[in-house]
Every structure is written in structure tokens, then in C-alpha cells.
Amino acid sequence: MKSTRFAPWMLILTVSLAMLSGQTSAKDTKEFSTVVPMAKPDPKWQGRQKSLNERIKKGNVDLLLIGDSITQGWEGAGKDVWKKYYDKRNAANLGIGGDRTQHVLWRLDHGNLEGISPKLAVLMIGTNNAGGDQPEAIAAGVQAIVEKLRSKLPTTKVLVLAIFPRGEKPTDKLRLINSKANESIAKLADDKDIFFLDIGAKFLKDDGTLTREIMPDLLHLSPKGYTIWAEATEPKVKELMGEK
């Protein structure tokens, strides 16, 4: 009779232990807004999205660069560097200013990948999430994008770049959030189809300071910054595209 009497308490203890051990999770990654595809109603954003789809429809895409305004900037401050490194590779720029992970997820479902099979996709996204999302949510959003890329482009290698440093000092709040997110993002790599590369230190002085020579507003790259990006990633891009 004693065992029957204490059975309810044993059940409660069992459930509690299961929750603590992670068998029952109170917070699933699906709760993060960063993983829920979302479009922007802004006409400028919609126009950019349309132009990207028009580029993709032309085909002949061997390399994708996916991201936000920092990636879109290859068409501005980085245009000369792009011509040197990427024109010859049939590259397409899938960057839209202001995008967060959820916006990229929506775009990938609405034309940005339709009918193509590139050799490599280079992804750098998440800094726009830093203002409102915690590192684990940002990392979850990047993971969702990587999973979508692998699903829609099964023969394409994915190179995930660590979110670039921002702010002048190493103690900058948003830089710290990005750095913490990068710790989780790095774990996405399987070094078979998914690869991770952190080139952040290349943009910084020895003391961790970010200068306006590299990022004029301490976020977006100058022409010199784009040169650093291209040179730092070139060996891995060349390898993953199967170039000799």
C-alpha cells in the first residue's frame, strides 16, 4: 500500500527530471521569430527581391553570396573587388539591406534558388538580428537557412561565414552578441557539405579595435574591407568550387 500512496509523487519527480534533462523542452527553437520566414512590405525591398529573382531566372549561377546590406554592398563599395574575384565565377549577389534571418528564409522559398544548382553558397547573416534577438535565436535562424539551402540545393556546398565584428571596441554590446552567436554557428559545420570560416579578426587591429578605414560606419565595409573579405575567403572558395 505504501508504494501506491507515493506513486503520484514519483510521477511528478519523473516528469521534473525529464524536463531538466531536456527530454521535454519548454523552449523549442520554433518559438524563435528568427526561424519563421517573413517578407517585408516595403516597396524597395520588394523591388530588390524581384530583381534578384530575375537574375536567378537567367541561370548560369555557380556561386551565391547570401546576406544583408553588407553582402549587397558588393554592388557598391565592393564592386571593383567583385569584378576581380567573382564575375568570372558566374556569381549572383543575394544580399538585401536590413535583412534578418527570417527575411532570407522567406526569399529562399520565393524564387532566390529556383532552377539553379550552384557549386557553392556563401552565407553571412545575423547582424541585423542582434538588436532584438539573443545569440541562441540568431544561431537558430542561421541554422534554419543552412538547412533550407541543403534541402533545396543538395549538391551545393555551403560556406557559413561568422557574423562580422561591428562597433569600435571589443566590448561593443552588439559585437558581443554576434560573437556569442558565432560560437553556436560554428557548430553547424560538418566539413563535408557545410563549412564554417571566421575571418572577423582580419578586419580588426591587434587590440580588437575596428577602424572606420575598414568599416566607415563601424558596420558596413569600405573598398578595403571588401578586399580583405575576398582575400581571406579566396582559398576556401577556390577549394569548395573545385578549382585548381
What residues are labeled active site?
69, 217, 220
Distance of alpha carbon 138 from alpha carbon 190, whole angstroms? 19
Q: How far apart are the first and last CA of the chain?
A: 77
Distance of alpha carbon 50 from alpha carbon 38, whole angstroms? 15
Exposure pattern of 29-43 as b/e (b: 16+ CB <10 Å)? Answer: eeebebbebeebeee
Distance of alpha carbon 137 from alpha carbon 223, whole angstroms? 31
3-state secondary structure of 195: strand
Distance of alpha carbon 201 from alpha carbon 178, whole angstroms? 13
